[in-house]
Amino acid sequence: MYRSINFHRNIALEKLDANLKKDFFSKRVIFTRHPTTHCDLFDLQNDNINPIILIREPRSWILSRYIYVMNNSYYSKIDTNKDNVNTKIIENEFSRLNFFLKYWLKYFEKKKKFMIFDYDDFLKNPNLTMFKVLEFFKYENINKEIIEKSIERNSKEFIQKFYGHLNMSRFGNPDEKTIIKKRIEKYVNEYLVKNDVGKNFKKLISLREIN
């Protein structure tokens, strides 16, 4: 979404009082996939930038990514192996993940204020996680009811109830996930043994305790 935003041409923003505009830019929160998808709306070297990153255990992450990209225009043209596994996806996506992990490990060597969340912890207690995020950014007058309702409306349970099914890319088919997980498991484990993705994940997740 950030690619389509031009703050200087936003008519509503231009109507704001100068002090309000300054306040907006100083407190804005930007959601990105940086650095795997570059974002130029901020300067990470600025002391006023306080990042929060959400990371996911590598095996869980690769399963999600594998299912998401396996039928896209690029990977669908690549032949699978004898076990019907597209090893190119595993190789490329783990390389992408490791780039992400190494980037933030290096960045946090010099950064004093940051926050790291494990995706699994977020799933277990989304309310607590969201309140920690808002407190980290020093939001005031937080409406607990609004936050809880927002989390509820974005939950799998609510989507299931609202649409009557979960047949959408956001969630994927649970049975299909189980089949693919078993199919790629051996190759994922082999990759993790040969490379330092798992080690870098543990290093990064351990920084949340230090910080």
Give 129-184 pLDDT, tens digit per residue. 988 988 888 888 888 898 889 888 888 788 778 877 766 655 667 788 889 999 99
At 5, the pLDDT band (50, 70, 90 cuts) reads: very low
pLDDT digits (tens, 9 = 90+) for 104-122: 999 998 888 899 999 998 8
Please, are residues 100 and 53 in contact by the beta-carbon 8 Å criterion?
no
Whether the model pTM is above 0.85: no
Name the more confident of 6 and 27.
Answer: 27
- The Cα–Cα gap between 24 and 170 comes to 31
Contacts of 21 (CB under 8 A, 6+ apart): 13
Percentage, residues of the chain above pLDDT 70: 81
At 2, the pLDDT band (50, 70, 90 cuts) reads: very low
Angle, vertex CA 43, rays to CA 17 and CA 198, nearest 5: 135
138: left (phi over 0), alpha (psi -120 to 50) or beta: left
What per-residue confidence (pLDDT) applies to 30? 73
Structure tokens belonging to residue 1: 């979404």
What per-residue confidence (pLDDT) applies to 34? 81
pLDDT digits (tens, 9 = 90+) for 68-78: 899 899 999 99
CA distances from 4 to 16, 55, 62, 122, 175 (A): 20, 25, 28, 28, 36
- The overall average pLDDT reported for the chain is 83
